């Protein structure tokens, strides 16, 4: 099925059906996540950040504070 055909079929669904479909799509992506290659630049960045974390060089933020800040910013 072509993408435009899929879009046409999805547009016929109700909201709850669309949400279930999205959930199934995400679950299938998660199930095959190990098959998605990580680009080298991304691995290097994650490694760099993890090293900084382990060395105590990162400013960490409390999740409650981050959440509150985002709520304030996007009222």
- Of the candidates 2, 18, 20, the one whose C-alpha atom is nearest the C-alpha of residue 10 is 18
Q: What DSSP state is assigned to residue 31?
A: H
pTM above threshold 0.75 = no
**CA separation, residue 36 to residues 5, 29, 51 (Å):** 26, 9, 24
Answer whether 52's CB lies under 8 Å from 58's CB.
Answer: yes
Q: Which two tokens stand for residue 29?
A: 């992506």
CA 60, CA 58: separation in Å to the nearest integer?
6
Q: Which residue has the tokens 């290097």?
A: 44
Average pLDDT of the chain is: 92
- Per residue in 2-27, pLDDT (tens digit) is 999 999 999 999 999 999 999 999 99
């Amino acid at each position: 099925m072509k993408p435009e055909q899929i879009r046409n079929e999805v547009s016929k669904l109700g909201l709850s059906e669309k949400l279930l479909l999205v959930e199934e799509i995400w679950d299938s992506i998660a199930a095959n996540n190990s098959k998605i290659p990580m680009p080298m630049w991304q691995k290097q960045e994650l490694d760099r950040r993890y090293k900084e974390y382990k060395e105590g060089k990162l400013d960490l933020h409390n999740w409650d504070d981050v959440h509150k800040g985002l709520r304030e910013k996007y009222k």
